[in-house]
Structure 1
Amino acid sequence: MRLVASRRLVGMMLCCLSMAAYAAPNAQQLLEASDAIRNPVKPFSLTTTLIEFHQGRETDRNLLTVYSQSDPVGGQYRSLVHFDAPARDLDKLLLKNGSDLWFYDPSSQASVRISPQQRLLGQAANGDVVTVNWAHDYAPSLAAEEDIDDGDRQRRHCYKLNLVARSNEATYHSIDLWLDSLTKRPVKARFYAESGTLLKVSYFRRFQEELGAERPTEIVIIDGLDPGWVTVMRYSNYAWRAIPDAWMQHDYLSHFEPN
């Protein structure tokens, strides 16, 4: 009898250990791990190239330099975006500081508050080109584990997260985000308006070593209503960068000079 009871106890322990091993992962931790892959923790700069296509044909292109640093108080990123090209947009600026987003036009020397939801080029919104900490802006929940095709049509086993905006200041009302179950890399995302309308679908591609981690250097954005419209965001020239605090102040925009 004692032997049978002992075997039952061992069996129950193994069952508990097995259940613990397969316990659902924490959605917040998954999102934070994904954010760490997308975003360097120390102040940095990079070049963002935005290319718009319609039915496979290029229709427009922007070249931007992005300067970003984490806000030690709120945990969100502060970003300054300088427009390098085309000539019609040269020296325009986009500043995100906290929940405020400002656009500066040197021709009028005026800065105006803008919405992160407004489109900058093609399917890329203002809120897409600044550095964003999704774990700060969205409340995540684990929706499923499933196999999907990535941006290179390779099959990936992923965790699917549902993200819901914590405030109206977030760029999107909600996001479906797929993360590679092994690496926690972002694979695919679907972005929704408050009405539930699908705004766009994004694929994260071309991961390579940048500033200490394997990061996506290309995001393909497909219009949610007309998939013939595609915008490609390419990241290059990553560099650690000392960023003066004055650059992140609204009142300094008219004095900014890139160096």
Structure 2
Amino acid sequence: MNILFLIAALATFWLWMSPQTIIAAQTDPVAAKILERADTIRNPQGDYVVHVRITDYKPEKPPKVAEYEVLVKGRDRTVVKTLAPPLDRGTTMLMLGYDMWVFMPSIRKPLRISLQQRLLGEVAYGDIARANFSGDYVPRLGKVVERKGVPCHELELTAVNEKVTYHRAKLWVATEDNRPIAAEFYAFSGKLLKTCTFEDYRPEKGVTRPHRLVLRDPLKEGYYSVMEYIHIEERELPGKYFTKEYLDKLRY
């Protein structure tokens, strides 16, 4: 009887211990605070709209360019409207939590996609749809190193679940002000998928933010993609925008 009671108690305990609770227990509070500050510098933490241009470069080939209007509500709801090239205009992506769908004018039903899939070149859907590291990764603070001539905290990031864009990442943020300087992203196998540098820091509504991210293939010389944040506007966005039913009504 006592053994049965103990088993039932343990089962209840593990049901109560959600993944978020377990993750919170594992998180280094100092590393978490640094990561949150880095996210605040990368992008607004409320509702906002940003115009993004992606240019993909490959040796001996003309660059491919695409433009998007990205609507972000909080941390878990995003709509990505494709503005260019003309052939893809009207294609819309919807992210709710870690789930994502693509809506094409020529197809009636939305297609389920993952955050890990490639959007263009070195840019994954998750790179444009989920802009925060905190909440998606458990951070661990490493040593202070120099990156691009800047003293940086080295953060080891481990994904909270298998749906996050990358299984593991390293992020270097300036010790002076916690601005992101560089990152590396890894697959579950441990393979280095891509590197990233945060560039073109400029004031945006009182906050100095990076306006260009350069993502490179570490195994192929000359293969890289540039994400440019052309304009960021902070404004409240209606919740109805972030539903499958409303996407047909979005204007382009």
| TM norm. shorter chain > 0.5 | yes
Unaligned runs of 5+ in 2: 1-27
Contact 1:205 1:217 in 2 (8 A): yes
In structure 2, the residue matched to 1:186 is: 180
1:145 equivalent to 2:149? Answer: no
Amino acid at match of 1:104: F
- Structure 1 distance, partners of 2:29, 2:195, is 25
Match of 2:56 among 34, 52, 57: 52
Unaligned runs of 5+ in 1: 1-23, 71-75, 150-154
- Structure 1 distance, partners of 2:134, 2:60, is 34
Q: How many residues align?
A: 225
Match of 1:26 among 30, 53, 57: 30
In structure 1, the residue matched to 2:160 is: 166
The structure whose Rg is larger is: 1
- Structure 1 distance, partners of 2:177, 2:71, is 27
Post-superposition Cα deviations, 1:56-92, rounded to whole Å, max 9, x if no partner, equal 854311010011121xxxxx33111100000110010
Distance 1:25 1:170, change over 3 A: closer
Q: How high is the TM-score relative to the length of structure 1? A: 0.83
Amino acid at match of 1:38: R
Deviates more, 1:36-45 or 1:114-123: 36-45
Match of 1:38 among 42, 47, 51: 42
- Structure 2 distance, partners of 1:57, 1:178, is 32
- Structure 2 distance, partners of 1:42, 1:139, is 22
- Structure 1 distance, partners of 2:77, 2:29, is 30
Report deviation, 1:185. Answer: 0.4
Distance 1:114 1:148, change over 3 A: same
Amino acid at match of 1:143: G
Q: Which aligned runs of 4 or more in structure 1 are off by greater than 6 angstroms?
A: none
In structure 2, the residue matched to 1:107 is: 106
Match of 1:176 among 161, 165, 170: 170
Q: How high is the TM-score relative to the length of structure 2? A: 0.85
Match of 1:247 among 229, 241, 244: 241
In structure 1, the residue matched to 2:121 is: 122
**Identity of aligned pairs, percent?**
33
Amino acid at match of 2:36: E
In structure 1, the residue matched to 2:220 is: 226
Match of 2:208 among 183, 189, 214: 214
